[in-house]
Amino acid sequence: MENRILIVYKSTTGFTRKYADIVGEAISCTVMDYRRVTKEMLSDYDTVVYGSRAHAGSIDGYRKMRKLFSQSGAKRLVLFVTGAMPNEEETLIEGFWKQNLPDGEAERIPHFYMQAGLCYERMSCMDKMMMKGFASMLKKKKNKSGEEQAMEKMIAASFDISDRKYAEPLIAYLKGL
């Protein structure tokens, strides 16, 4: 029996959409913008993959997607999150998952992180202000740790560290269903 897969993405600066398109092309499935999705649409698929950004410590739009998924007839939810944090920061990424997937969700819901970057040019005014405020706080801080120094340098300007190779674990998982 064929496993019908839908990839739903919520993308503000383009990184999440880029990864959704990469995965969708690799497994030949439907890719759809989060704003167009209904629970009825989700019910037409066995597996729903939700991709979004890490935003202020949360998975942007996840509450709404979780609710839509629970009201649909889809059988499996899979998550991927994009962010500015390099994939090598495994401890921080694991903390992010623990914070966002409580009560056993981390064990029940397959989840993948894909490093992406920052694009100040496409951010909302509020997000730009938050990031610039954080950058300013880091700049003023004395006796910075090595991690804080690296973070200050990283968020000073837009950058793109995305790569198809970071989508490969999700692609392999979906092909194995």
Cα separation, 42 vs 165, in Å, equals: 28
Is residue 113 within 8 A of residue 93, CB to CB? The reply is: yes
> Is residue 105 predicted with pLDDT exceeding 60?
yes
140-150 pLDDT per residue, tens: 999 988 878 87
In this prediction, residue 25 carries a pLDDT of 98
- What's the average model confidence in pLDDT over 76-90? 95
- What's the average model confidence in pLDDT over 100-113? 95
Which among 135, 82, 79 is positioned nearest to 108, based on CA atoms? Answer: 79
25-76 pLDDT per residue, tens: 999 999 999 999 999 999 999 999 999 999 989 999 999 999 999 999 999 9
123-167 pLDDT per residue, tens: 999 998 988 888 888 889 999 888 788 778 888 889 999 999 999
Residue 21 φ then ψ, to 5°: -65, -40
In this prediction, residue 150 carries a pLDDT of 78
- What's the average model confidence in pLDDT over 89-109? 94
Residues in CB range of 108: below 8 A, 6 or more apart:
none
Is residue 29 within 8 A of residue 5, CB to CB? The reply is: yes
Question: Which DSSP category does 165 fall into?
Answer: G
Is residue 144 within 8 A of residue 152, CB to CB? The reply is: yes
The H or E element containing residue 81 is strand 76-83
